[in-house]
Structure 1
Amino acid sequence: MPLNRSLRVAVAAVACALAVGSTTGPVEAAPKPDPLGALLSPTLFDPLVNLLAALPTPYKGPYQGPVCVSGDPQCIEDVIAEMERRLVPLAASCSHDAIFSLAYLRVTQNVKNAADNGYFADRKWLTQIDAAFAQMYFDTMDAWKAGKKSSVAKAWQIALQATEDRKMSGLGDFMMNMNAHINNDFPYVLEKVGLTAADGTSHKADHNAYNQRLDSLYHPVFDEEAARFDPTFNKLDLGPVDEVLVGAIMRGWREVVWRHAEALANAPSFVRPLVEREISEYAAGQAQFIKALFASPSPDKRAAYCATHHG
């Protein structure tokens, strides 16, 4: 069940534009006139995204675990505590794994804030999604650290080996891990927790709603990564254009994720292996693309900087 190739090309093209700009060294900040800032916002893609309606997917019963079956808000608090616990030694040792660990923590804190303030129509569903998604990440990292490298997905193998070899820029580590977790893992989480509520309502509106929350995280998270781990992390500054690029990538990836989840949920048993292969190959292909564009030009400088700034 291959996805529309034009969507893939669009995502790759935007990722390439971001990558080329971010690996050529410091870029002088362009003027940011208010009219342009108002026009060039990641939200300009939202009308199109919202027009891409969910495909009919039957309700398949309540989520059965393995984590946060209750959907209690405490689940996200527990996830945050575990992320904080894991980040401390990674940051202290300047492990390149600290890049995504920090970003994922900040995203999860933002999810909690959004849920606490009624941002999502179905908080229980969102909480279950958050907890199950994080558990996949924890399990992958634990398997890799335990030497069970062949047991993790191909996109994760590419990302974590590059991170372990310390050959990527900070932004490259971030993009590689983010791609693996979103494009490889997220479809399975969505399918397992459920795409459709008991009353037949699709959860896609809540899935789409988080795009704008992510928009608000790019600058503060990139600045914190640059301050603590890699000073080149936020060197791309093209005014509102850089936010549009990142926003386009994330919206494209998250739309692909939803479609892959639908394919998993609706596939007959004999077709499912083909869908799983499609997901794996798509995520691995994105990983190879990112790896080629985000090699670190100065890994020693990054290490020296982190040693005095990791905080």
Structure 2
Amino acid sequence: MFVQSFAHRARTVAGVVSAIVVASLLTVGATSTPAHADLLPYVPWSSYLAGWTDQYVPTSDNDCVAGRSTCLKATLKEESRIADDTAKSCSHNAVFARAYVRMTQLYGFTRDIPGYYQDVPYFNHVDAVFARYYTDAYYNWTSGNRAAVPQAWLTAFDAAKNKKVSGSGDLLLGMNAHINRDLPYVMAASGLVAPDGTSRKADYDVVERWLYDATAPLIAEFAQRFDPTMDDSQDPFGLANWTLFQMVSDWRENAWRNAEALVSAPTDAARALVSANIEADANTIAQSILNSESYVPLLSSTVPRDNYCALHNGDAPPMRYDFGYATPWGYSY
């Protein structure tokens, strides 16, 4: 019920959408280039599959499995590839795709702050695994391999393709799939406990320090480039931002608890039950977002949004992120 009542406001509250998107991701710098040709040579994500495991192994030859700093650049390249392609075509998938790039840039920025995270290599690995859950789902969906796409992602991608929901709805659907559905599996596989027996929860929670601050510039960018209705109202007291952030924080906390349940399940059957509950909850929330954020025939239309995007998809983001001013295409790190 809370998700439903919140989603009714998301279309007109600038802060509502951003906090959610921020809640699961990570990123860095902000001077990039306007076209693929200007980027560094593309490194196929598949080149990192050799030796890939979702488990964190510091001694692995695979940079992402070992959590080496170079993995972040490969992650950003892959995310930017999707974000640029969807933005240039004004696909409604562009909203979440660009949000992911910004969050990964923000992670990169914060990981370079001494002492921000207790174990940077570990979180480098988590960042890469988390990204692959999204990119794998997206590429399987675009290739028509729907059986390999989790239902929560099918709902999000199909809604975007069919231009069914508002920009806020596209963002919320993507964030629900990635936080409520993907994140428990990512954390369970990456490991919840360090070698010395201490919990990884501190590094997991510290992400929320920058999530709230990222809300305003994120929504401002999406309203400037993709869908101006995402910033239709301003709340001088910041109440809507705070409310949304609490929802995202609750989603992340629930994801951690579900990861604990996956890890502690005593049998395969018990683990399957936890997994079924994760899928069901994410799908229920997705349907709530669909119900509240869908365009209403004869009353609302996607045409103004699409026409606006065609003129403004290359506009520079109007507000500064913590890592600096971002460019519309590619990434910087």
Note whether the superposition's TM-score is higher than 0.5: yes
Task: Indicate the residue corresponding to 1:309 in structure 2.
Answer: 312
Contact 1:67/1:131 (CA < 8 Å) preserved in 2? no
Matched, 1:16 2:4: yes
In structure 1, the residue matched to 2:199 is 202
Counterpart-to-counterpart distance in 1, 2:280 and 2:221? 32
- Mapped to 2, the partners of 1:291 and 1:163 lie a distance apart of 11
Q: CA deviation at 1:281?
A: 0.2
Change (3 A) 1:195 1:266: same
Q: Figure out how many residues of one structure are paired with residues of the other and give that number.
A: 267
- When the two chains are superposed, the root-mean-square deviation of aligned CA atoms in Å is 2.1
**Alpha-carbon distance in structure 1 between the residues aligned to 2:63 and 2:234:** 40
Which of 103, 124, 129 is equivalent to 2:126?
129
Match among 108, 116, 122 for residue 104 of structure 2: 108
> How far apart in 2 are the matches of 1:67 and 1:137?
19
Q: Deviations over 1:83-114 (max 9, x none)?
A: 12222221110011111010010000000001
Does the residue aligned with 2:78 lie in a helix, a strand or coil? helix
Give the structure 2 partner of residue 191 of structure 1. 188
* Deviation sequence 1:234-285 (CA, Å, 0-9, x none): 2242231011112111100000100010001010222111011000001101
AA matched with 2:251:
W
CA distance in 1: counterparts of 2:256 and 2:174, whole angstroms: 19
Q: Of 138, 151, 154, which aligns to 2:151?
A: 154
The structure in which a higher percent of residues are helix is: 1
Contact 1:71 1:125 in 2 (8 A): yes
**Structure 2, gaps ≥5 residues long:** 20-54, 315-333
Q: Which moved more, 1:290-299 or 1:260-269?
A: 290-299
1:64-79 equivalence runs, <5 A: 64=57, 68-79=64-75
- Deviation, 1:191, is 0.7
Instruction: Give the corresponding residue for 2:324.
Output: none
TM-score by length of 1: 0.81
What percent identity do the matched residue pairs reach?
36
Q: What is the CA–CA distance in structure 2 between the aligned matches of 1:283 and 1:128, rounded to whole Å?
A: 24
Shift of 1:75: 1.0
Q: Which residue of 1 aligns with 2:289?
A: 290
How far the C-alpha of 1:125 sits from its partner, in A, is 1.2
2:273 corresponds to: 274
1:166 to 163, 166, 184: 163
In structure 1, distance between residues paired with 2:164 and 2:243:
24
Could you tell me the TM-score, scaled by structure 2's length?
0.76
Query: In structure 1, what is the Cα distance between the partners aligned to 2:88 and 2:99?
Result: 16
Deviation at 1:22, TM superposition (A): 3.3
Structure 1 CA distance for aligned equivalents of residues 148 and 124 of structure 2: 27
Structure 1 residues 234 and 105 mapped into 2: Cα distance closer, same or farther (>3 Å)?
same
Q: How does 1:203-282 map to 2 (within 5 A)?
A: 203-239=200-236, 240-268=238-266, 269-282=268-281
After superposition, the Cα gap between the structure-2 partners of 1:115 and 1:72, relative to the gap in structure 1 and judged at 3 Å, is same
**Which one-letter code corresponds to 1:161 in the other structure?**
D
Unaligned runs of 5+ in 1: 1-11, 30-41, 43-61
Structure 1 residues 280 and 92: alpha-carbon distance in aligned structure 2, compared to 1, 3 A threshold? same
Describe the shift of the 1:22–1:276 C-alpha distance in structure 2 as closer, same or farther (beyond 3 A).
Answer: closer
Q: For residue 88 of structure 1, what is the aligned residue in structure 2?
A: 84
Find runs of 4+ consecutive structure 1 residues off by over 6 angstroms: none
| Kept in 2: contact 1:229–1:305 (CA 8 A) | yes
Q: 2:13·2:230 contact (CA, 8 Å) conserved in 1?
A: no
Note the alpha carbon deviations across 1:158-178, whole angstroms, 9 max, x for none.
111111111110010000011
Return the alpha-carbon distance in structure 1 between the equivalents of residues 283 and 255 of structure 2.
14
